[in-house]
Amino acid sequence: MATYQPVPAAERTLQLLEHLAAAPDGLSAGELERRLGIPRSALYGLLNTLRQRGYVEQPVPRGPYLPGPRLAVLAAPAGPHTLAALFTAETGRAFPETVVLMVLDGDEAVVVAEAPANHTVRAVYPVGLRLPAGRCAGGQVLLAGRSAGDSLTQVHREAAAQHRRADVVELAVPICADGIHADAALVLVTPAFRWHEERRDALLFQLRATAARISHRLGAVAYHPYGGSGSTSPGQSIPLEAEERDHFLAGPWAARLACVRPDGQPHVVPVWYEWREGAFWIAAWPDSRWARYVAANAHVALTVDEPWPPLRRVLARGPAEAFSDADAGLFQRISARYLGPAGGAPQSTAGWRAFRIVPHHLSAWRQP
């Protein structure tokens, strides 16, 4: 009979995962140390490695450790049924148009799930519909992961595809169980008469956010479709032209505002903004701490970025000018920008303040 010599590191890793899998509420580092009987330094080394790989997670700092999402991938690969179930769960967040899930079958893209829009007139892509992969947006994002030919270069770079078929416009992004390779396509389809290019950024943002959540639930530690071209390094960048910069800043991104506290320590806070006439306008609700800091020290910096290719970024520095009597329209516009028309503006703007930042330094760039 063949014999084998156990590998201690592998045995410890598997024992750790087995203990976590058997504990629905998770286990603390102390409990794992007692059960495994290994030094704490070795235990933390294992936990940190597994956490970085997505096999273990710790939702609350200093809290219990739980099985990570990648364990679910090992137990249940990302087949059509798994993808369809996650699609149904995630598209419960209402999209303004029909959204479908497509997978590749030979040279065709096939619809495996559909979430129809609520409009009376809407695009209909029934389950089972087959389209030539190269002639639909869903097929193009799936093919781009396999071949970045000339016709798919833009799709590969942007990790998104837009295509018009007859009276329908399609917008698609990939779903990647490992964060890189496309397993399925999330596709928004809308009647062409209701399509406007100014909607594209907001719809693409919503699609990508949903695709990233589904990818994470499939086990992806990060969402970076296609993994980049491989021809650039993280330090390389391309400046954005003013038109592209303004178009990017009109998207539904949150900004990060950096200011200085009275004790001289930095303070960073996410804020909603409006970019208008070369200035950032930011609203502060009553009793906002950061508003007091900025009122006392007007020197601020602000960044806006997107977490997926082409990784556009904007950095601004300049003085923040306070307006205690800003018009109510500003608050209504900012509210509608992030919450939609039904989101609602504050019933009263008493005590609200607005700040205008006219940057004396403004840079914008993206990854090649």
Which residues, given as ranges, of the chain have pLDDT below 50? 1, 76, 229-232
SS3 102: strand
User: What's the confidence (pLDDT) of residue 263?
Assistant: 94
User: What's the confidence (pLDDT) of residue 195?
Assistant: 92
User: What's the confidence (pLDDT) of residue 102?
Assistant: 93
User: What's the confidence (pLDDT) of residue 194?
Assistant: 93
Query: Residue 194 carries which DSSP code?
Result: G
User: What's the confidence (pLDDT) of residue 90?
Assistant: 75
**What is the third-level CATH fold of 8-73?**
Arc Repressor Mutant, subunit A (1.10.10)
SS3 191: strand
What does the pLDDT look like over 196-245, one tens digit per residue?
A: 888 888 888 889 888 988 888 888 877 889 875 444 455 568 899 998 89
User: What's the confidence (pLDDT) of residue 234?
Assistant: 54
- Kind and range of the H or E run holding 335: helix 328-339
Task: Look up tokens 């506290």; give the residue.
Answer: 261
User: What's the confidence (pLDDT) of residue 163?
Assistant: 95
**What is the third-level CATH fold of 80-227?**
Beta-Lactamase (3.30.450)
User: What's the confidence (pLDDT) of residue 258?
Assistant: 97
User: What's the confidence (pLDDT) of residue 267?
Assistant: 96
**What is the third-level CATH fold of 238-366?**
Pnp Oxidase; Chain A (2.30.110)
CB-neighbour burial class of residue 267 (10 A; exposed 0-12, middle 13-18, buried 19+)? middle
Would you say 308 and 251 are in contact if contact means Cβ atoms under 8 Å apart? no
Domain borders along the chain are: 8-73, 80-227, 238-366
Would you say 289 and 297 are in contact if contact means Cβ atoms under 8 Å apart? no
User: What's the confidence (pLDDT) of residue 83?
Assistant: 76
User: What's the confidence (pLDDT) of residue 344?
Assistant: 56
